[in-house]
Chain A
Amino acid sequence: MSHNAFITEERIEGDADGALAGRTVAVKDNISTAGLRTTCGSTTLEEYVPPYDATVVERLKAAGATIVGKTNMDEFGMGTTTETSAFGPVENPAAEGRVPGGSSGGSAAAVAAGEADLALGSDTGGSVRCPAAFCGVVGIKPTYGLVSRYGLVAYANSLEQIGPLAPTVEEAAELLEVLAGSDPNDATTREPPADAETDYAAAADGDVSGLTIGVPTELLEGADDGVRAIFEDALAELEMKGATTTAVSLPSVEAAVQAYYVIAMSEASSNLARFDGVRYGRSGEGEDDGNWNESFAAARDVGFGEEVKRRVLLGTYALSAGYHDKYYKKAQDARAWVKQDFDSAFESVDVLASPTMPVPPFERGESLDDPLQMYLADANTVPINLANLPAISVPAGETDEGPVGLQLVGPAFGEATIIRAGSALS
């Protein structure tokens, strides 16, 4: 049965051998593939064919992977359900009638349904971890700067990273090893510090003895009872295997959702400005009397969906003279506060744990009418993007409504630590 996981299905063979030889990989449709259209789930880019490969695509090919297609997603990554795609919603293979999460819903569904061995997603505020949790697979959001963004169509460029999705922690770690590493085409990439463990696949050894897990009380407050019960079972399992847990407090996360949306929308308003109908999308529609400004507006009106328009408008507003200090600057201050909070938490713990999503998968259509509710569901994932930290979502169990994920957060370039902890659960 098709889950509408792909926007474009096409095979691109990689090199004959390499770490991923013989594996199939589904690539989120906001990651550029030379000669293969890259739509970002938007009408605007319906016919856009990039002339170049994203760095991660080059690395996949060089590692011998076979790309099997471009996966469905919320338009430009703006959503938590993959229902804002111009190419139709994606079914959750693990929870019938429910959303797969988003925005990398197609990638998570492709892996969950076995339509690809592995997948690439991108995570701006939870877009890899949320669908991983909802579809019962593993997803990693790397430290900002570990994986090149060259070729990733930007939604909010100061927040996002490309990350792997896979059925198991070990496979996700193997894929991350192929993706990671600095890139001269992305000035924000950095090499991990010399003492950082970068043999990610080997780190998936399930050994959590002596590991200290902090549990931020604030990230449990909004959790649904069923989710909470599964989360506590998962913690108990980790304790049984030798980890210790301790409650910690991250008071700044109260401000995280607001700060995240202000920053993400502000950046989006600028990143999406180029889609004006001149080179992408439709133009010449609407009455513009030859006025280019009107023509741009008309092209954007037909090219963007409701959620994209909402975020671009709000972001433009937040950056405007007279509101910049009240919104954008304040959000930046909150971001600094969040970073600081995480830094101090990691002085006493090795990893932080929370439910990935406070709720099980929504029923389809449920959240579309209430964007604010949808934004609040990101409460546990967005602080990690604000703080540029690595996080993994691993399947922790299932409620009647669908899978539940456990999120483990590490210090910057602490991917090996969260992979090790996550691998103890499976």
Chain B
Amino acid sequence: MTAQTAEQRDLTAVIGLEVHVQLETETKIFCGCSTQPDDDEEPNTRTCPVCLGLPGALPVLNEGAVEAAVKVGKALGSEIPEETRFHRKNYYYPDLPKNFQITQYDAPICDSGEIEFGVDGDRRTVEIERAHLEEDPGSLSHAGGSIDTAEYTLIDYNRAGTPLMEIVTAPDFRSAAEARAFLAKLTEVLEYLGVFDVTRNGSLRVDANLSIVDAAEVDEGGGIDEETLESANRTEVKNISSHKGAEKALAYEETRQKNAIQRGREVEQETRHWDESRGITVSMRSKEEEKDYRYFREADLPPLRVSGWKEEIEIPELPDARRERFREEYGLDAESASKLTSTKQVADFYERIAEKFDSGLAATWVADNLLGELHYRDMAITDVTDRLGEFTRLVELVDTGEITVKNAEEVVLRRMLDDRLDPETVVESEGLGKTDDDAVAAAVSDAIEENPDAVEDYHAGEDGALNFLVGQVMAETGGSADPGTVNELLRERLEG
């Protein structure tokens, strides 16, 4: 084609995601080892014959992992089969203890489903093709370079056997931003379900495939026919470990492929590696041939009957529903409701506060003051969930008028977070208890006596004069007087 027509092509990205999440279970998926790393644990200590893949060791399915997966399936609206089975995926890689991975193939625990999420003010729904359980491999550290260039590589099997869920979407995304918004929503839902901890290192890993098609091929419903999809060369981008990373990697890849096509070059079908630090995707070795994983049934694990599990296993209220309820039940505006349901922990925290106080006051203190101060300190609600009692007492001090709102916000809350003090200790040490009436009355008298000019201006009807006098009283009482009361007292004295 000529350069001229090439420039005119209107192109669209087609993106599908494979999201691997570590499920929060007590023990690994096929053995009794803990899934929780100890602080500064030594490599290869949280292991046993099973997760080390020692000769003769056999996997035994942790039904807790299956329950967690069923919760995910319920949240995604998936079909849960009558019976779920495991297969072996055979490939050689140094992080795989057995050189095969136990995974699911023809009877995944979750079939189909969808997720609705918001992006740039629009609601989008993405189809989930399947979600299945598998075991996490160990982790490799390459001494001086990548696996191909390192002098040697160390293997740590502590992670091996951690339950993973692989969630596969249809190629329904049309932009990197959509992919990011989806991941945010997905992890939010998983956290709500209590099956996922986003703060755990390596708990989220994303493989993304991206291809470019002519925008004209996209029908009105956003669909693209199979043939067009098949004929477009796509790349698989690996090594993405965050929402932000996914957006950056896919935006880079979209631009790279579009540029190639606009220049009349063919996009090579290949696997690429997202290099986070350089912000680019790089080709992984020369043409990898189509991998043949030689899947076959894992005979060591009998099929598990899970019919009825979907009905028996309960899941908590999900974010969308909770957001809606917060608006109705607590009379919150959309923004507050959204902030207060951003994570299950925030929502739970809010509801505990709202039980005791006015729901609007509780919303201001949790959504605006607390979350704002936490955000400023790069902290999360989970850092203070165990201090719910202290926080409740802080709101109480404000609610009963024992301290001023200003002092509560600017002094007490901040010192509670910075110095881990309880609110009473801060009030005491800073002398923030509201000044008693006599002291305020004395300060009012002093202000009137010491500022005859201002008093004159007041009587002459100048608006600023009263504010000046209030300021004087506040300064004398160290900000502990209530400005409304001071205002009232001054008027009484000046008018009287």
Contact = CB atoms under 8 A, between A and B. Distances in A.
Interface of A: 30-32, 38, 40, 45, 48, 50-52, 54, 149-154, 157-158, 184-188, 266-267, 269-270, 273-274, 276, 278, 280, 290-293, 296, 316, 319-321, 324, 328
Contact of A186 (B58, B98, B100): B58
Interface stretch (B125-133, B180-188, B295-303, B332-340): B295-303
Given A50-B54, A153-B55, A188 B299 contact: yes
A320 B53 CA distance: 23
B294 A319 contact: yes
Contact of B54 (A51, A184, A276, A293): A51
A7 to B, nearest CB: 15
Nearest to A76: B55
Contacts of B299: 157-158, 188, 267
A62 B163 CA distance: 34
B383 interface: no
26 contacts: A32-B54, A32-B55, A32-B56, A45-B55, A50-B54, A50-B55, A50-B56, A51-B49, A51-B54, A52-B54, A150-B56, A151-B57, A158-B299, A185-B60, A186-B300, A187-B59, A187-B300, A188-B302, A273-B100, A274-B55, A278-B94, A292-B94, A293-B92, A296-B92, A321-B292, A324-B294
Closest 9 CB pairs of A and B: A158-B299, A273-B99, A319-B294, A153-B55, A151-B56, A321-B292, A32-B56, A274-B98, A153-B56
Contacts of B379: none
Contacts of A278: 94, 155
Interface of B: 49, 53-61, 88, 90, 92, 94, 97-100, 147-148, 153, 155, 292, 294, 296-297, 299-302
Contact of B90 (A51, A149, A273, A292): A273
Contacts of A158: 297, 299
B296 A266 contact: yes
Contacts of A52: 49, 54, 57
A385 B193 CA distance: 45
A109 B55 CA distance: 25
A273 B98 contact: yes
A274 B97 contact: yes
A349 to B, nearest CB: 29
Contacts of B301: 187
B453 to A, nearest CB: 88
Given A151-B57, A187-B60, A269-B294, 7 more contacts: A48-B55, A150-B58, A152-B56, A154-B55, A186-B58, A274-B99, A320-B292
- By CB atoms of chain B within 10 A, which of A45, A187, A316 has the most? A187
B294 A320 contact: yes
Contact of A276 (B49, B55, B59, B99): B99
B55 A319 contact: no
A270 B100 contact: yes
Contacts of B302: 187-188
B92 A188 contact: no
B94 A185 contact: no
Contacts of A48: 55
Contact of B296 (A280, A319, A321): A319
A54 B56 contact: yes
Nearest to A187: B60
A76 to B, nearest CB: 10
A157 B92 contact: no
Contacts of B99: 273-274, 276
A144 to B, nearest CB: 10
Nearest to A278: B94
B300 A157 contact: yes
Contacts of B98: 273-274
Contacts of A51: 49, 54
A187 B294 contact: no
Given A187-B300, A188-B299, A266-B296, A274 B56 contact: no
A30 B99 CA distance: 20
B55 A40 contact: yes
Given A151-B56, A188-B302, A319 B94 contact: no
A36 B471 CA distance: 87
A292 B147 CA distance: 8
Contacts of A31: 56
Contacts of B55: 32, 38, 40, 45, 48, 50, 153-154, 274, 280
Contacts of B58: 149-150, 185-188
Contacts of A45: 55
Contacts of A274: 53, 55, 97-99
A266 B298 CA distance: 12
A210 B302 CA distance: 37
Nearest to A152: B56
Contact of A270 (B56, B88, B155): B88
Contacts of B147: 292
Nearest to A318: B294
